[in-house]
């Protein structure tokens, strides 16, 4: 059998051959466009989540400086409005440890965004190095201050919370030291991996408040007790940093292997959902706690 086209005639085998090649080409184009779209959506969702997290942590950092740090020398007793037992008359070492820890915590949250910005790393490596040193020093101070406070006074929630927070402090200490060591050795892949782990830990303190806030909004505080001895409080003593660390490990490993389209789709939906939750949480915290001290501090109200 022969088929006829505008260039002349071809036999059935040749026709089949060209038809198959055309179908394959069209399939490849459709598949590539689909992959491209999936990649773009994943990229956009991750970007949105990053921006929302940066903005929210920045506001929380400013709140810590405006509320806790600015009352450090004037009225440290006001800390207890936020959490009982943070300031105790005569408990100088524990008071100063937690006070320094607040200062360092605020600095960490404000600098965290700058440290991970690729633009700063590429265009202004000097700024990255300088602010990196301040960031790492602040992480060490926040960890040591928190650990001293736990050793002297203990957390409000007792043993489980003591263990959860002490492990958090120890991990933050280790990640800070490793990040610095690998930067000094100029082993940048390892430096980046430890810096990401440190960032995941550093935003844990912010995530702790967000997770509590969203839990309270949606469940009317089931599992929470005033003295943090409820089942939800016990889970939360670890939940604000363990999943973040696992996520970083997943990201570090999955970069090396190709992700399936299904996994990418799942990640995209999770990132968009997480960004929406962070936006809702940030708005609630801004309205209830952060706005007043921050606006007063900058004399904007
Ligand atoms: C970016 C890092 C950190 C920030 C921004 C931060 C922030 C804060 C803030 C604002 C509070 C006041 C309590 C409240 O408002 O709920 C607090 C309390 C506390 N933080 Fe941190 N923190 C950080 C890291 C750490 C680390 C690494 C440890 C672990 C050693 C730690 C241990 C504690 C402890 C034990 C308390 C007192 C809780 C209690 O009395 O039960 N923090 N932190």
Buried-state track 194-225, b at ≥16 Cβ within 10 A, e below 16: bbbbbbbbbbbbbbbbbbbbebeeeeeeeebe
Determine the pLDDT at residue 14: 87
| pLDDT of 251 higher than 90 | no
Question: 112-134 pLDDT, tens per residue?
Answer: 888 888 888 889 999 999 999 99
CA–centroid distance, residue 193 to ligand 1 (Å)? 24
Assigned domain for 165 exists: yes
Domain count, the chain: 1
Which residue's CA lies nearest to atom 38 of ligand 1? 155
Assigned domain for 110 exists: yes
Q: Which residues approach ligand 1 with their CB closer than 6 A?
A: 64, 82-83, 85-86, 101-102, 105, 108-109, 142-143, 146-147, 149-150, 155-156, 165, 168-169, 172, 202, 205
Assigned domain for 234 exists: yes
| pLDDT of 19 higher than 80 | yes
Find the Cα–Cα–Cα–Cα dihedral 111, 116, 120, 122, rounded to 10°. Answer: 150
Q: What angle do CA 102, 106, 112 make, to 5 degrees?
A: 140
Question: 201-241 pLDDT, tens per residue?
Answer: 999 999 999 999 999 999 999 999 999 999 999 999 999 99
- Atom number in ligand 1 closest to CA 206: 5
Assigned domain for 108 exists: yes
Q: Bridge-partner residues for 9, per DSSP?
A: 4
Assigned domain for 270 exists: no
Which residue's CA lies nearest to atom 36 of ligand 1? 146
Assigned domain for 182 exists: yes
Question: 45-76 pLDDT, tens per residue?
Answer: 999 999 999 999 999 999 999 999 999 989 99
Determine the pLDDT at residue 297: 92
Give the residue with greater pLDDT, 58 vs 6. Answer: 58
Confidence class of residue 6 from pLDDT cuts 50, 70 and 90? low
| pLDDT of 2 higher than 80 | no
Assigned domain for 95 exists: yes
**Roughly what angle, to the nearest 10 degrees, separates helices 188-202 and 204-219?**
40
**Domain of residue 201, residue span:** 71-257
Confidence class of residue 254 from pLDDT cuts 50, 70 and 90? confident
Assigned domain for 190 exists: yes
What's the whole-model pTM score? Answer: 0.88
**What is the percentage of the chain residues whose pLDDT exceeds 70?**
95
């Amino acid at each position: 059998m022969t088929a006829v086209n505008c260039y002349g005639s071809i036999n059935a085998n040749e026709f089949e051959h060209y038809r198959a090649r055309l179908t394959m080409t069209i399939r490849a184009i459709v598949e590539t466009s689909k992959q491209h779209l999936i990649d773009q959506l994943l990229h956009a969702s991750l970007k949105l989540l990053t921006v929302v997290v940066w903005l929210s942590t920045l506001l929380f950092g400013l709140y810590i400086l405006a509320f806790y740090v600015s009352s450090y020398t004037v009225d440290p007793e006001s800390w207890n409005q936020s959490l009982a037992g943070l300031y105790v008359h005569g408990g100088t070492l524990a008071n100063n440890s937690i006070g320094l820890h607040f200062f360092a915590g605020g600095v960490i949250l404000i600098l965290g965004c700058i440290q991970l910005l690729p633009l700063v790393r590429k265009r202004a490596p000097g700024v990255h190095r300088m602010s990196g040193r301040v960031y790492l020093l602040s992480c060490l101070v926040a960890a040591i201050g928190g650990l001293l406070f736990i050793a002297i006074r203990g957390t409000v929630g007792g043993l489980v919370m003591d263990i959860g927070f002490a492990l958090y402090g120890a991990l933050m200490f280790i990640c800070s030291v490793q990040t610095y060591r690998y930067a000094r050795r100029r082993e940048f892949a390892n430096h980046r991996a430890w810096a990401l782990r440190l960032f995941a830990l550093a935003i844990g303190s912010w995530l702790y408040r967000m997770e509590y806030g969203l839990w309270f909004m949606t469940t009317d505080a089931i599992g929470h007790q005033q003295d943090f001895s409820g089942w939800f409080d016990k889970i939360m003593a670890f939940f604000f940093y363990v999943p973040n660390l696992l996520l970083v490990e997943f990201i570090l490993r999955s970069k090396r292997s190709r992700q399936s389209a299904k996994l990418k789709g799942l990640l995209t939906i999770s990132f968009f959902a997480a960004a929406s939750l962070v936006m809702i949480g940030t708005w609630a915290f801004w309205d209830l706690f952060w706005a007043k001290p921050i606006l007063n501090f900058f004399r904007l109200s």
